[in-house]
Structure 1
Amino acid sequence: MLAPTPASPESAGMSTPALNRLEAHLKARYIDAGRFPGTQLLIYRRGKIVHSTVQGFADLERKVPVKDDTIYRIYSMTKPITSVAFMMLVEEGRVAIDEPVAKYIPEWKNLGVFLAGNAPAFLTRSPSRPMLIVDLLRHTSGLTYGFQQRSNVDAAYREHKIGEVEKAGSLDSMIEGLAKIPLEFSPGEAWNYSVATDVLGYLVGKISGMPFEQFLKERIFKPLGMNDTDFFVPADKAHRFAACYSADPQGGFNPLAAERKGTLTLQDDPTTSSFLSPPSLVSGGGGLCSTAADYLTFCRALLNGGELGGVRLLGPKTLKLMTSNHLPGGVDLPAMSRSLFSEAAYNGIGFGLGFAVTMHPSQTLIAGSPGEFNWGGAATTSFFIDPAEELITIFMTQVLPSSAYPLRRELRTMVYAAITESNL
């Protein structure tokens, strides 16, 4: 796939001084303060790359600098790719999003909703309605993540190691395990970040008749030239693989306390990481590694109505469906969320089929546009696409958890501040 043309910010209606201010902010607030090892920022507008920078280290221990081709664990930025893959099957008439999940996973037909108890002696009730595939796409399925540590159902996920990308097991064993654990709530009654997108990956494999990872490679990655995106990092690319760190904000993040430095603890060494070999559980919810350039290619296809360089993933009407708010009653995430996940805290943000969607920028209290869609990963990677402004922003680092610092809010604010010619 032909790379986009690098150009000055001014040629695409953006400000070089404003983007330099953003880079200085990243360096002073995060890298020099010891909060991030390094960063990569890629901004694309009106068909051009107007900002592409790297700072700091990909591997602090070995003093390996961040480079343009550094490979990152993108964790939940895998979810939009999986959701697109699933909707490709919908477009082919092989599945519909209003079908019950039990049609494809019969062992889930009698899943109950949690009332009381601990595993394996749960007391349950029947759900108000069956779980539909749309519930998987928009996280209203009643499934959860064990890391939320909020309920007895979460605890059962941890006990069965469900949704833990780096643990043993397979997609088949995950589906079997979930058949033994009740739902957190009746499908459609709440929004809860969950392993639902892993289940979508399982369904892609089952419906397409090929392994999920093979479907992604043959239908998305190879056609688009996303050659550095996979569920593991091969040996000949391991030298480009970044280290991943855990953050310690030391009692909370105070942006005014410049002298209060963060600390970083090595969480996943790139020379011994489980991501260096093919996983037993191919996680459509969080298993991919990628580069900023590869992810930009995927985002460009989305911005362009589902097609790039003659390769069409989806039709524009399907993509419009995916990037509309699908939360019941048209409410926003805070109105429906039971999740402890930080992305659910913004008023005016809804959720579509695989993406968070900005409905009302004035309610978010952050600059933006109606229809902007986005998501991020656990190690603080993130992207957002604004069709109205013909804008894509991709940010990469490797720091867990993504909620440690308000970087995503700052990034949005400062990128939108750099726009000097708005399309709206």
Structure 2
Amino acid sequence: MTASHLDKVIDGAIARQRIVGTVVLAARDGEIVYRRAAGSADREQGIALREDALFRLASITKPLVATAALKLADEETIDLSAPVTEWLPDFRPRLPDGTAPAITLQHLLTHTAGLSYGFLEAPDGPYRRAGVSDGLDQPGLSLAENLARIASCPLAYAPGTGWRYSVATDVLGAVLQEATGMPLPAIVQREVTGPLRMRDTAFHVVDADRLAVPYRDARPAPPTRMASEEEVPFMEGVARFTPGRIFDAAAYPSGGSGMAGTADDVMRFLLSLRTSNRAILRAAEVDRTGTGAMTQGPGWGFGYLGAVLGHPKEAHSPQSAGTLQWGGAYGHYWFVDPLADLVVVQLTNTTFEGMAGAFPRDVRNAAYKDFT
């Protein structure tokens, strides 16, 4: 198959300096039909990006941790309907009226627990005042301390009555550790990355020479190299990045954003979710119905592993109903269309263009033109 549209999108984004570098993979009917690395891993040093480049995965970590949780539920190690306090007795965030409603693991998986992210709030919001880490900053902060800070903040709504993207997967990671007596990195390796032979994906960097340098959007272009501490405006707030966190052994393993890995490994994981290849999860566990909340605009809900497309026409998307997709704050995007049997992984080293700019939308549209 040719991929003239994808090549044009990638070449145009680099030429216009919307992104610094990218690795894009596409699979149709379970087979890789397109792979390309383009742009720079380190622009200032003149180092080209390779297909086996490592990226800070940010929220691509979430579906891996969620999958580990679903496997443990299948093995009856945990019960998704049970309250978080069964494993974390001191984790009791309250509503503004002072009550502490039960938060279940199901709420954590679907981001319906009433928790939040600091970057979704104003600079003086409760998570910022409490010093909550979004899992991208504050190396050396312990998980116990971050959980205490989260629990000190008021819930945005009663669990199960709304949807808000949040630190829920970090809390879920703490539950998995308590339930198994194992560190989260070991759990994810045992349940997901090990069985799928995702050898380059972990809560640490397996080969620092292959790690892409992170950049941030700048207006006017080009993107600028991230500093050791970086604040990037996003939505109502500011996202805080400490790129060196991935090298800090004392940093808690963030279930929401703590891993690094390659595009090939992410593709290997996503292909394992195909209906005809349940290498990890049973078919019933891949929730393609989602919540009723509008998570990525009209037509989109949220399941266990990411956003779920319920109404393609409302979303103005070429994707089929039941498509799963999500991204990562360091500049990533992926989707799995089960009806077209099309899977795309697009990793960049450019925040936020690679996740929430025009580039992921253009890659999506080009993939359908080239391969369907």
Same fold (TM over 0.5): yes
Instruction: Provide the C-alpha distance between the structure 2 equivalents of 1:27 and 1:318, rounded to a whole number of angstroms.
Output: 38
Corresponding residue number in structure 2 for 1:113 = 95
The number of equivalent residue pairs is 356
The answer as to whether partners of 1:165 and 1:286 remain within 8 angstroms in 2 is no
Deviations 1:312-353 (A, max 9, x none): x2222222xx3321x2xxx241xxxxxxxxxx3421111011
Q: Which of 220, 224, 247 in structure 2 is aligned with 1:276? A: 247
Alignment of 1:276-315 (within 5 A): 276-304=247-275, 307-308=278-279, 313-315=280-282
Instruction: Provide the C-alpha distance between the structure 2 equivalents of 1:404 and 1:83, rounded to a whole number of angstroms.
Output: 22
* 1:245 aligned onto 2:222: no
* 1:68 aligned onto 2:51: yes
Alignment of 1:184-333 (within 5 A): 184-234=156-206, 237-250=207-220, 262-267=221-226, 273-304=244-275, 307-308=278-279, 313-319=280-286, 322-325=287-290, 327=291, 331-333=292-294
Q: Which amino acid aligns with 1:112?
A: R
Deviation at 1:168, TM superposition (A): 2.3
- In 2 relative to 1, CA 318–405 (structure 1 residues): closer, same or farther, beyond 3 Å? closer
Normalised by the length of structure 1, the TM-score is 0.79
The answer as to whether partners of 1:332 and 1:348 remain within 8 angstroms in 2 is no
The answer as to whether partners of 2:136 and 2:257 remain within 8 angstroms in 1 is no
Q: Which amino acid aligns with 1:67?
A: R
Corresponding residue number in structure 1 for 2:343 = 392
- In 2 relative to 1, CA 268–300 (structure 1 residues): closer, same or farther, beyond 3 Å? farther
Deviations 1:388-417 (A, max 9, x none): 111110001111125662222222222122
- In 2 relative to 1, CA 162–355 (structure 1 residues): closer, same or farther, beyond 3 Å? closer
Unaligned runs of 5+ in 2: 229-242
Instruction: Provide the C-alpha distance between the structure 1 equivalents of 2:180 and 2:31, rounded to a whole number of angstroms.
Output: 35
Q: Which of 65, 70, 76 in structure 2 is aligned with 1:82? A: 65
Unaligned runs of 5+ in 1: 1-8, 10-15, 115-123, 251-261, 334-343
* 1:379 aligned onto 2:326: no
- In 2 relative to 1, CA 203–276 (structure 1 residues): closer, same or farther, beyond 3 Å? same
Normalised by the length of structure 2, the TM-score is 0.90
CA RMSD between the two structures:
2.0
The answer as to whether partners of 2:215 and 2:225 remain within 8 angstroms in 1 is yes
The percentage of counterpart residues that share the same residue type is: 29
Deviations 1:210-263 (A, max 9, x none): 1111111122222211110011214xx11111000010133xxxxxxxxxxx22
The answer as to whether partners of 2:24 and 2:36 remain within 8 angstroms in 1 is yes
Deviation at 1:21, TM superposition (A): 2.1
Aligned residue for 2:90, secondary structure, equals helix
Corresponding residue number in structure 2 for 1:360 = 311
Deviation at 1:361, TM superposition (A): 0.4
* Moved segments of 4+, more than 6 Å: none
* 1:153 aligned onto 2:126: yes
Give the structure, 1 or 2, with the largest relative contact order (CA under 8 Å, sep 6 or more). Answer: 2
The answer as to whether partners of 2:57 and 2:330 remain within 8 angstroms in 1 is yes
- In 2 relative to 1, CA 162–79 (structure 1 residues): closer, same or farther, beyond 3 Å? closer
Alignment of 1:339-354 (within 5 A): 344-354=295-305
Aligned residue for 1:197, secondary structure, equals helix
Deviation at 1:160, TM superposition (A): 4.2
